[in-house]
Amino acid sequence: MAKLRILVVDDIYANRFLLSELIKLTGNEILLAENGEEALSILRQETIHLVFMDIEMPVMNGLETTRYIRNEMPSPLNVLPVIAVTAHNPEMFFQDFADVGFDELITKPYSAEKIRDVISKIIP
């Protein structure tokens, strides 16, 4: 598999660090953002193949950001794969992650295997 450029969006430093270490184990490249606004500006400037998106963030949360990507960004960015990431019960935020535009959802605890599985599910 060719190296992917993966954007990790999370407001908590420890979460960004943990996720990016696990993604590094899959042999892919990582870019980081602290909130949705920062993520959108990176998406406008860099080639990104996949996003891990935290749901709860200040400034612009993961739901708002994913909706923006789906509805406002030009093709092919509007169909960029976005994986929702949360430590909480996702039913606090939505019934079905697909309804809000996410391709997949992962919950804590994360593991290298879980990360590898979700990446290869989206980009075989």
Cβ–Cβ < 8 Å for 93, 102: no
Query: Rounded to the nearest 5 degrees, what angle is found at the Cα of 96, between the Cα atoms of 11 and 63?
Result: 30
Helices 62-72 and 36-45: crossing angle, nearest 10°?
A: 30
CB 7 within 8 A of CB 31: yes
Per CB under 5 A, the list member of 38, 54, 103, 104 interacting with Mg ion is 54
Q: Of 8-16, 25-33, 34-42, 74-82, which segment contacts Mg ion by CB under 5 A? A: 8-16
Cα first-last separation, the chain: 8
Please list, in sequence order, all residues whose beta carbon lies within 8 angstroms of the beta carbon of residue 105, skipping any fewer than 6 positions away: 83, 84, 85, 86, 90, 97
CB of 85 to Mg ion, least distance (A): 9
Q: Which is nearer to Mg ion, 19 or 57 (CB)?
A: 57
Size of the site for Mg ion (CB under 5 A): 4
What residues from 9 to 48 belong to the interface with Mg ion (CB under 5 A)? 11
In the complex with Mg ion, which residue's Cβ is closer, 3 or 108? 108
Minimum CB separation of residue 58 from Mg ion in Å reads: 8
Of 15 and 26, CB closest to Mg ion: 15
Q: Applying CB under 5 A, does 56 fall inside the site for Mg ion?
A: yes
Of 59 and 79, the one with the shorter C-beta distance to Mg ion is: 59
Residues that bind Mg ion (CB under 5 A): 11, 54, 56-57
